[in-house]
Structure 1
């Protein structure tokens, strides 16, 4: 028995994006409904309010001095490993990437940036098995970092995205300015601009972390430089945020943004994991001066000693903890719940929920066989996209 359009729309709106995307092929009628601006808008609003997505797996990168340097992955002298490796969670299957697309660089909202540095790039969708090549940038500057950001559309089934390269031209010696090259899928072109910090020299420690389309750089491991390319009138402005206060030298840190736009930070100090959040002011995070460390609020802290005592999965690490030989690295705060921490100890990855105070071991597979995570490599968490438009790459 056939159903009316209103009932069909309601049924489709309750399904995950991967399923809805495939249902466009059922008939012309279904394709028209799914591509309609009304359905895309209502579907996006529903997913924003109720999304509790999943961690699909990890994309392989490289580590240098325990810091992520994915943008150097085109180096021909790297070990002869598959250009892109994916470790999916148990039971999940992720598309195998053609070797010609090069090495993993970045991921955003369901899309992946890969290629051969410094001038060849591809953007691909692992679930739809589609990819596109980007034109080469106009200038081959020294590249400090490169990152992808996928912008959601609620009116059309198109994945709009930007690729941002942080560059160091030889003639730019002003220490509070930064040159960036931005490729936009809307224009199909690269554009160049200068970012200016509110104060402080810009010695960026790591590639940026892109959260809800906003770029976050670590500066001297003391500040966060925040850049929102969609902020009309302030598109060349870098807001400097002082890191949360820490009693010890930081071993690792991660950032996230919650659905209400609040900035979150996770710290590992060698003795404990801490989760902080930064309340907004009247104008959000936009100020004419630096945001001080005292503005952060500590939400949760857990000591390594209590983790080893409370969870049998870590009981074997007690002796290493006592001897100070425990290597722990925070990998991510889950996007849909910043109180869930993804961290690794040696070759094992864990999920710790600060709300329920529960922890579980992440089970991974490679070539359909259980696997561990090589300790010397960087593994970028790859999350399910909450929206339908990220599943299209046209």
Structure 2
């Protein structure tokens, strides 16, 4: 009877199914497999499906076994018992680093994670338990290297950007920057002209080098060593592949400001730590840009007052609460902080000391149409057995 269903009705049914069922339905027929793995269906499935607004995916390094792990945390968990999160099973991460205790995390975009180890890059979609291994980039020996992952709104394509070259401050000497972009749809790296637009006297922060992704661009915390002598935000548009500068509130953030970029409630935000003394962070303020590209729209959203030893902000929950990591010598505790009531709730999770990361868990079928653990094209055609 399914053969007689109008196509729009069939699509509506499929969009309402859980991901596990969609994967199983690929085996019904070749036509079903072709439909579910089509780029159009994968795109519409993400945009039309209700988001898992009460789930976060948290990455941490298990300090005892030296293995990186991923766990789902439910935001509406009212149990303050630190052992409660241990009852939630880990998401199985399919790889283990060959030379280090963990992979370096580039970041995530719409639930798609990017990790790397030296010249090896991995894209992993925990929603469908699938990953691909990217081919080696063209240039691998240039330093420093900065990385970012995001979604190109113009081409509906996920991309990984690598920025390398002479981008340290060297007086009036212009930077020599190379930018290479990997495209999921093309399956290859491409050296772009993006380095031509890299502004002089700008360096990306080494304290918070991880870029935030928002609306087709990635955003780095950076420093302006020119006349301004202040912190600044450097963006890279994944569509036109051009660098742009976003100024911060005048006089608020000098070169020594401890800031990082993030996304709060769909807006570009800054996580700004106050002065530290003996590893005690007195406070942390969160600024948001209310209007895209309008410097005067920067607004201090709230200030977090947690007089604790060694803590940092991991991200923001859907209910506008803040996810905080309290770091101790033998592990860390996840806390949910309510800026309005200033109440702190214990979310458990007491293992990792460093390298923690959190993002919203998203229903995303990206990579469903690709063989698992495949080395993409560009001088490499070898395929590995699926794990």
Please say whether Structure 1 and Structure 2 have the same fold, judged by a TM-score greater than 0.5: yes
Q: Residue deviations 1:206-231, cap 9 Å, x none?
A: 3241313422222247211122131x
- Partner of residue 34, structure 1: 36
Unpaired stretches in structure 2, ≥5 consecutive residues: 73-84, 224-229, 275-280, 372-387
Return the TM-score normalized by structure 1: 0.67
Identify which of 162, 167, 170 aligns with 1:164. Answer: 162
Q: Residue deviations 1:325-379, cap 9 Å, x none?
A: 6322112234x56x33221122211122446766432333xxxxxxx1333x221
Q: Secondary structure at the match of 2:90?
A: coil
- Partner of residue 58, structure 1: 59
Does residue 381 of structure 1 match 2:361? no
Q: Distance in 2 between matches of 1:15 and 1:359?
A: 36
Identify which of 68, 73, 81 aligns with 1:85. Answer: 68
- CA shift in 2, pair 1:297/1:201, >3 Å: same
Does residue 267 of structure 1 match 2:250? no
Q: Distance in 1 between matches of 2:30 and 2:341?
A: 46
Q: Distance in 2 between matches of 1:243 and 1:162?
A: 30
How many matched pairs? 327
Identify which of 278, 281, 289 aligns with 1:278. Answer: 289
Identify which of 21, 24, 27 aligns with 1:25. Answer: 27
- Partner of residue 331, structure 1: 314
- CA shift in 2, pair 1:178/1:224, >3 Å: farther
Alignment of 1:1-394 (within 5 A): 4=5, 5-17=7-19, 19-35=21-37, 39-47=41-49, 52=53, 54-60=55-61, 82=66, 85-89=68-72, 90=85, 91-99=88-96, 103-109=103-109, 110-117=111-118, 119-126=119-126, 127-138=128-139, 140-151=141-152, 160-168=158-166, 177=175, 179-185=177-183, 186=186, 188-193=188-193, 194-196=195-197, 200-202=201-203, 204-205=205-206, 206-212=208-214, 213-220=216-223, 222-230=231-239, 232=240, 235-242=241-248, 245=252, 253-256=260-263, 258-259=265-266, 262-269=267-274, 270-280=281-291, 284-285=292-293, 291=295, 295-304=297-306, 321=307, 326-334=309-317, 339-346=320-327, 347-354=332-339, 359-364=344-349, 372-375=350-353, 377-389=354-366, 391-394=368-371
Q: Residue deviations 1:53-85, cap 9 Å, x none?
A: 621221449xxxxxxxxxxxxxxxxx9974x51
Q: Residue deviations 1:193-218, cap 9 Å, x none?
A: 41545675435333241313422222
Contact 1:224 1:241 in 2 (8 A): yes
Unpaired stretches in structure 1, ≥5 consecutive residues: 62-78, 305-320, 365-371
Q: Distance in 1 between matches of 2:47 and 2:166?
A: 40
- CA shift in 2, pair 1:254/1:58, >3 Å: same
Q: Distance in 2 between matches of 1:332 and 1:32?
A: 37
Q: Distance in 2 between matches of 1:37 and 1:123?
A: 17
Q: Distance in 2 between matches of 1:238 and 1:358?
A: 38
Q: Secondary structure at the match of 1:389?
A: coil
Aligned CA-pair RMSD: 4.0
Q: Distance in 1 between matches of 2:160 and 2:271?
A: 26
Q: Secondary structure at the match of 1:342?
A: strand
Quote the offset at 1:145 in angstroms.
Answer: 2.2
- CA shift in 2, pair 1:99/1:40, >3 Å: closer
Quote the offset at 1:182 in angstroms.
Answer: 1.4
Q: Secondary structure at the match of 1:56?
A: strand
Q: Distance in 2 between matches of 1:87 and 1:219?
A: 29
Contact 1:255 1:265 in 2 (8 A): yes
Q: Distance in 1 between matches of 2:173 and 2:204?
A: 8
Q: Distance in 1 between matches of 2:98 and 2:139?
A: 21
Contact 2:326 2:333 in 1 (8 A): yes
